[in-house]
Structure 1
Amino acid sequence: MLGLVYVNEPLWVKSSVDEGWLIHRESYDRTFSNSNRPYKSSTARIESSRSFGVVPMTAIDLIKNFRDPIKWMNMFPTIVTKARIVDVLDSGNTEVSIQLMYEKLHILSPLVEARDFVFIRCCKQLDQTTWIMVDVSYDLFKEIKTCAPSYAWKFPSGCVIQDTGDGKSMVAWIEHVQIDEKCQVNHIFRDLLCGRQTYGAERWIVTLQRMSERYNFAMPVTCATTDDSQGEGVKNVMNLSQRMVKSFCETLSMTDKLDFSTSSHLNNEDRVSIRKNEEITQPKGFIATAATSLWVPLSFETIFNLLKDNNTRCQWDVLSGGNNVTERDRVLTGTCSKNYITFIQPMPIENNMLVLQESSIDKMGAFLIYGPIDSTTYTSFLNGGDGEKVVILPSGIIISPDGRLASGMNSNGNAQNGSILTVAFQKLICANNSISQDQHMEAMVYIQSLLSSTVSKIKATLGCSD
């Protein structure tokens, strides 16, 4: 791992597509000969990447987050769906830990399957300011691969973290995996979203930077309350929104839990799932989820700026009921003024309802994730009440660059950038313990119709109806 971090040629070569670094296969195999490799397959492909970045968190704090599977998921809510420790192999030394772990990584589209890894994670202190985290796959797939949607193998991957002494760290990240998909996927969206853009080292670094900033940022409320518990209220808002974002991203891993996936009611790229929920943080009962992804000939920054504008929200958001909205409160989550949590109030006020929304953008993409919340609950936890059990069912929009330098040609014959727009809705359809097959089908048709209508409205708002 250390031999890969700071060496360029011959182990690394420049990509002809995006100028990023790729591992040179023959040089790697000669330098690191090892018979413990995954099986060879004509359908398997290898992905490799390397990235560097300054992260606003100390090395020891980063390592503590990486050792804890819950904190690991919270640091990477848009990448890691599940994580747990299978076994602790060595925890007697504070300077080194070895854990056998499982994780599921997801892509922000319902059209591409998740990736499952079982791996050994070693975290070790190299000197007073430097730590290393190395992940390498462990062959438990003989026991679990029949239930895994993909066969994914980690070559030594991870990061080297050097504390810079000012509350920040310099992080060098390497991703090196072999992927062999075992089920039918949408190869167009997979090719546009997978690899360096979505699972590459730069995505991990940028997400780590963003989430570290989110945790450390001194968040002012633009419409501040006068209550002394404002600080606790802001903390509650941050925690609730973080939970909402993570919950929403988890719903997008839909390839292994589809209902009526071949129904004539569905468009080719739409996915519908109906599940029974027992969690206290979401409405109890049967929840319908519908999601889709589509290509849009606009940059992700342009789409994000148009959709986050409250003045045009009524043109596409079904939660607003076609009415104008006004902003009640805002909590900044970083130095970029476009990254914030906001409470939106549809006008006129109906059913005592507000909308909690988190908007976020970085160089790898953007999202708007939102959910309804009643104003009484809002007032309670904003003034310091317990927000841990607040019920919220998120929907939202993920905007990802399509991973190509040019995605098509415009009317003038010039290269045109594009984005993958993923839209997902969730709705409680029945609070009972069971539903009939007819109710099931009616709910599927309804939620898909809601999705289709919203996508059409979004495309019209963006000027991309054709």
Structure 2
Amino acid sequence: MNFGDFLDNTSCSGGGARIVAFNNNSSMPGGAIGEARFLTQSLSSKPMFNSPGLSLALQTSMEGQGEIARNNEMSNAGGRRSRDEEPDSRSGSDNMDGASGDDQDAADKPPRKKRYHRHTPQQIQELESLFKECPHPDEKQRLELSKRLSLEIRQVKFWFQNRRTQMKTQLERHENSILRQENDKLRAENLSIREAMRNPMCTNCGGPSVIGEVSLEEQHIRIENARLKDELDRVCALAGKFLGRPMPNSTLELGVGGNGFAVIPSDYGIPSSLPMPEMPVNPVEKSMYLELALAAMDELVKMAQSDEPLWIRGLDGGREMLNQEEYLRASSPCIGMKPNGFITEASREIGMVIINSLALVETLMDSNKWAEMFPCLIARASTTQVISSGVGGTRNGALQLMNAALQVLSPLVPVREVNFLRFCKQHAEGVWAVVDVSIDNIREAHAFPSCQRLPSGCLVQDMPNGYSKVTWVEHIEYDEGVVHQLYRPLVSSGMGFGAQRWVATLQRQCECLAILMSFPVPSRDHSSAITAGGRRSMLKLAQRMTNNFCAGVCASSVHKWNKLQTENVDEDVQVMTRKSIDDPGEPPGIVLSAATSVWLPVSPQRLFDFFRDEQLRSEWDILSNGGPMQEMAHIAKGQDHGNCVSLLRANAVNSKQSSMLILQETCIDRAGSVVVYAPVDIPAMHVVMNGGDSAYVALLPSGFAIVPDGAGSDTGDRVSGSLLTVAFQILVNSLPTVESVETVNNLITCTLQKIKAALQCES
């Protein structure tokens, strides 16, 4: 569930409102026709993963005739291949050393014992790294690699042959296992259908049915059975082409349910946009993605479930820190070595969230819902390619390529652009995991990224009370040099992009959704003018206002901003312009944005309370006309009174100002807080408060973002405090001039001076 879907499709009040987003359970397709269609869909979407427990390893043993047939085919091939043509029978990391495969007569020389050469871990790491980039190296690459690793060229050649064979064999075994399970399931259902046909029952009264009464139904079953068998043959043929060998087809007879209709799986309790279709992927590239996703999932689960010595706490018993030595000893990195100059940021957080596992998984796998669930953390997100949409209409086994821009609300911290794989897997009933891992090392990138995402994500487990236990892991390597000195303690501690911020934001957003979907909606309206539809419109307008504020602070690609370089502006003040788009909610002209960040020796809670106090508004806001403001409407968005949307009115000095109101949204959690506001016209707000379309209300947001400074305790002469970001957006009629830039710069400078004076921290 996201705010956009909720505000479009549900009412904030009204009889019979239900919190369906957190308690619905999805059901698998039922009935024989449902299982038959489930099989054909599953065969068309690979890779598929359906292991019952937390084990992530591919099945390495095969049962049945498929493995025996392959062994017989190899033993009867006839003749003996030379050593140069035959890959080593051992694993891709162990190669045989000795004479080359010349034709020798066993009668001339006694057979000598074969000697095996085991590669060193450094050699294996180099070979694996090249294999991810080029599974089929040419002669020149093999020669260069053999010199660098002190190996013979034939050893390098054999290693790559064995590695390719190993990858193909693992994929074949895994998919054969899935197909065999589906065949067994259909066979069992077919037997039950045959048994039901022998003893037909009347669907109306439940008593025995006369044989002649089911002849028409039986005819429909046979027609549907023939159609499904043809579809199964077609899918098996396609699977055979992918695997490079004929796929054995089942001879069982398929059937459908007694009513002739398949059971449609229920939704996850939240509205969902249409899923992107699966896109064709090169088989070698698909195998590499699959291998990377499985390795990343394995590492995520280990990091989520392990405690000491992998995770250790500081001397003060505070946040957890990753033991890098133990991490490198226990697992090999999924995406290669850390680039020079990069540092590691790792964090873990566990929390209870008022959402069920299916709803959360659906939110994470939909890029639009994901971005709306974390509005101040994600500047932009998109799904670039769907490799697998999952099995049987669920997200189990879903694998997709995604792109995202992650942000801290400050112009001093660049936006993190990441390209990554997102893989979802169900480990047990009510237990899901979603993992992300960067793919820049296995795809040709135009520029080297400033950060790469090591296996990160969350493990979600349903709780009996409708909540979910979420264990979130964030693991990133990044270039610290691009971050301003002021924000380095915050970012390196994991509080900027780390797990604590993800979980805190998730808890706040889910609590907000639960409250807005309850009845009645908590509010402190000072008049009865605002309607239930008006609350919806106000919330949508506030959401757009906050999103535009975040985009202006971080210069994200949501809007096309142009940075200005001027001499009359402070070094830490970022000034940007953009042309207003042709949209009813955009004021015509050029938008000028200015933002800066400062450190204040004040706690984040005290700073937040200062900004949201209407009685103290005149101490920093020029829109207050020198006096306190009055709250006209209040819509709660959480248990904390600081999470709300308000409508404020200032004392009017003249007739022009009497037609102005202030729309404000405030949000706070353990990771930080924001206060965003914008002036709006009274006639336009009357339309919104009566349930009108809020998209036609033009606004330019300003506000504050507050986060802890990351110091944690006294450090020398500096005490722990807050990092405050101040941002304003104003409208200019034409291209910005020196005067307009100075105006917005002076507005920021004057506001900061008033804030410091009011909080008595001018020095």
Return the TM-score normalized by structure 1: 0.90
Q: What is the CA-CA distance between 1:173 and the residue it aligns to? A: 0.2
1:444 maps to 741
Deviations 1:65-122 (A, max 9, x none): 1111111111111111010011001014222311100000011111111111100001
Amino acid in the other structure paired with 1:188 = L
Corresponding residue to 2:497 among 156, 175, 199? 199
1:272 aligns with 2:575: yes
Corresponding residue to 1:373 among 637, 660, 680? 680
Deviations 1:368-423 (A, max 9, x none): 1111111112121121111234322111011111111225578xxxx833101110
Q: Separation in 1 of the partners of 2:410 and 2:336?
A: 30
1:155 aligns with 2:454: yes
1:165 aligns with 2:464: yes
**Contact 2:501-2:670 within 8 A present in 1 as well:** no
For residues 141-290 of structure 1, the aligned pairs below 5 Å read: 142-145=444-447, 151-181=450-480, 183=482, 185-218=483-516, 219-223=521-525, 226=528, 230-254=531-555, 259-261=563-565, 263-278=566-581, 280=583, 281-290=585-594
For 1:450, what is the secondary structure of its paired residue? Answer: helix
Corresponding residue to 2:753 among 456, 459, 463? 456
For 2:327, what is the secondary structure of its paired residue? Answer: helix
Amino acid in the other structure paired with 1:81 = A
For 2:590, what is the secondary structure of its paired residue? Answer: strand
**Contact 1:360-1:367 within 8 A present in 2 as well:** yes
Q: Separation in 2 of the partners of 1:452 and 1:204?
A: 32
2:662 maps to 355
Q: Separation in 1 of the partners of 2:487 and 2:339?
A: 25
**Contact 1:134-1:159 within 8 A present in 2 as well:** yes
For 1:49, what is the secondary structure of its paired residue? Answer: strand
Q: Separation in 2 of the partners of 1:101 and 1:14?
A: 33
1:402 aligns with 2:704: no
1:416 aligns with 2:719: yes
1:58 maps to 356
Distance 1:258 1:464, change over 3 A: farther
Distance 1:396 1:208, change over 3 A: same
Amino acid in the other structure paired with 1:153 = Q
1:429 aligns with 2:732: yes
**Contact 1:258-1:271 within 8 A present in 2 as well:** no
1:302 aligns with 2:606: yes
How many residues are matched? 449
Deviations 1:308-364 (A, max 9, x none): 111110121122233432110011111112221110111117151111101122222
Q: Which has more helix, going by share of residues?
A: 2
Q: Which has more strand, going by share of residues?
A: 1
Q: Separation in 2 of the partners of 1:72 and 1:208?
A: 10
Deviations 1:271-312 (A, max 9, x none): 111111205233232111111111111101111112211111
Q: Separation in 1 of the partners of 2:740 and 2:556?
A: 19
2:436 maps to 135
Which runs of structure 1 show a deviation greater than 6 angstroms over 4 or more consecutive aligned residues?
none
**Contact 2:345-2:477 within 8 A present in 1 as well:** yes
Q: Separation in 2 of the partners of 1:71 and 1:279?
A: 25
Corresponding residue to 1:14 among 313, 332, 339? 313
Q: What is the CA-CA distance between 1:225 and the residue it aligns to? A: 5.1
Distance 1:440 1:194, change over 3 A: farther
Q: Separation in 1 of the partners of 2:334 and 2:428?
A: 31
**Contact 1:135-1:156 within 8 A present in 2 as well:** yes
Q: Which shifted more, 360-369 or 217-226?
A: 217-226
**Contact 1:110-1:255 within 8 A present in 2 as well:** no
1:338 aligns with 2:637: no
Q: What is the CA-CA distance between 1:269 and the residue it aligns to? A: 1.6
RMSD over aligned Cα atoms: 2.3
Q: Separation in 2 of the partners of 1:255 and 1:65?
A: 22
Q: Separation in 1 of the partners of 2:491 and 2:440?
A: 27
Amino acid in the other structure paired with 1:96 = G
2:409 maps to 108
Amino acid in the other structure paired with 2:447 = K
Amino acid in the other structure paired with 1:165 = P
For 1:62, what is the secondary structure of its paired residue? Answer: helix
Structure label with greater radius of gyration: 2
For 1:406, what is the secondary structure of its paired residue? Answer: coil
Corresponding residue to 1:325 among 603, 607, 629? 629
**Contact 2:661-2:682 within 8 A present in 1 as well:** yes
**Contact 1:107-1:194 within 8 A present in 2 as well:** no
Q: Separation in 2 of the partners of 1:329 and 1:81?
A: 29
**Contact 1:221-1:234 within 8 A present in 2 as well:** no
Return the TM-score normalized by structure 2: 0.56
**Contact 1:48-1:176 within 8 A present in 2 as well:** yes
Q: What is the CA-CA distance between 1:34 and the residue it aligns to? A: 4.1
Deviations 1:412-463 (A, max 9, x none): xxx8331011100001112x5xx3xxx4332211111111111111111212
For 1:145, what is the secondary structure of its paired residue? Answer: coil
Amino acid in the other structure paired with 2:738 = M
Q: Which shifted more, 187-196 or 89-98?
A: 187-196
Q: What is the CA-CA distance between 1:39 and the residue it aligns to? A: 4.6
For 1:278, what is the secondary structure of its paired residue? Answer: coil
Q: Separation in 2 of the partners of 1:314 and 1:264?
A: 31
2:204 maps to none
Amino acid in the other structure paired with 2:662 = V
Q: What is the CA-CA distance between 1:181 and the residue it aligns to? A: 4.9
Corresponding residue to 2:698 among 391, 394, 402? 391
Q: Which shifted more, 401-410 or 366-375?
A: 401-410
1:311 maps to 615
Distance 1:121 1:35, change over 3 A: closer
Q: What is the CA-CA distance between 1:155 and the residue it aligns to? A: 1.0
